[in-house]
Structure 1
Amino acid sequence: MIRCHTELMNIMLDHADLKPVFFAPFVSTVMRVEPDWIDYNGHLNMAFYNVLFDRAADEVLALIGAGTDYVDRQRHSYYTAETHVRYLRELKAGDAVRATFQLLDYDAKRLHYFEQLFHADAGWMAATMEVMALHVDMDAARAAPTPPLIAARLAEMKASHAMLPRPE
């Protein structure tokens, strides 16, 4: 049984040679709202919604071959350039959540995607996030073309996600 986000990332990296399967949408592992993330209003602080969305996006990046091993080896990564978050329902300490990831579009240097955060037990939606990310050469500190293997995996993911309704 997979116990944590880091363990899943290590499993994905160990099997990076396997051809990934792109479900529509991608669904993250279960994550938990940590007690230290609760604000003085008694619910999840807005900054930590971003952490949960980011962890789900990390799972997707590992799946397409752009995870931490890729960053270490190639000195390239995806950087978030713009986000739009909608906070729909409060989350509390200990709540189990899952995020979905839908690739809306991509080109040689950009990813445009949409995530939804759901309460894993009750099923209701807590938040959504739309993201524009750039593929960056970290040494040159500028956007750079995505390598062919990652571009091919993005094409497969987009074809799978094309059957999903486009979010508002």
Structure 2
Amino acid sequence: MAYYGVLFDNALDVALAPLGLGPEVARKTGASVFTAQAQVHYLRELHAGDRVIVETRLIGHDAKRLHYVQTMRRVGADEPAAISENLILHVDLNSRRVAPFAPEVLARIADAVAAHAHLPLPQQVGRRVGLRRDRT
């Protein structure tokens, strides 16, 4: 399971860089993103050596948060191997408190969310974790 997380995390770094976020920016600005919530659906087994593609779709945002979903597929496969839905917070690393995105970053995020709005969402997005209650 941990390797799925590493693959998703590495793909997120690639997706965040053009927005003005990610590890390089964190070192320069003292601000980064922290995961507040994550839900992963493991749908198909991957094996060591499998090549994968991870697509990241930005779903929504506000001044301090970004909601996104990632779909992981084995190269050449149509069906997803895993879906990861996440909410991240923008954090000032000095104060360790949630802080607003810089205006230029927020503008790029808004543009990306708008550009992704027409893309289909995986059916797993928005599902809650839990057991169904027995109604007896």
When normalised by structure 2's length, the TM-score is 0.86
Amino acid at match of 2:72: L
- List aligned pairs for 1:32-111, cutoff 5 A: 46-111=1-66
Structure 1 stretches of at least 4 aligned residues deviating more than 6 Å after TM superposition: none
* Counterpart for residue 151 of structure 1: 106
Q: Deviations over 1:81-127 (max 9, x none)?
A: 11000000000111000101111100111011001000013343100
Q: SS at the partner of 2:47?
A: coil
1:116 and 2:71 are equivalent in the alignment: yes
Q: Report the Cα distance in structure 1 between the residues aligned to 2:88 and 2:5, rounded to whole angstroms.
A: 14
Q: Report the Cα distance in structure 1 between the residues aligned to 2:4 and 2:35, rounded to whole angstroms.
A: 15
Q: Report the Cα distance in structure 1 between the residues aligned to 2:105 and 2:69, rounded to whole angstroms.
A: 19
Structure 1 vs Structure 2 CA RMSD: 1.1
Q: Report the Cα distance in structure 2 between the residues aligned to 1:69 and 1:116, rounded to whole angstroms.
A: 24
Q: SS at the partner of 1:93?
A: coil
Count of aligned residue pairs for this structure pair: 123
Q: Deviations over 1:53-82 (max 9, x none)?
A: 111100011111112221011100011111
Residue segments in structure 1 that go unaligned for 5+ positions in a row: 1-45
1:132 and 2:132 are equivalent in the alignment: no
Q: Report the Cα distance in structure 2 between the residues aligned to 1:66 and 1:150, rounded to whole angstroms.
A: 8
Q: Report the Cα distance in structure 1 between the residues aligned to 2:87 and 2:13, rounded to whole angstroms.
A: 15
Question: How many percent identity over aligned positions?
Answer: 45
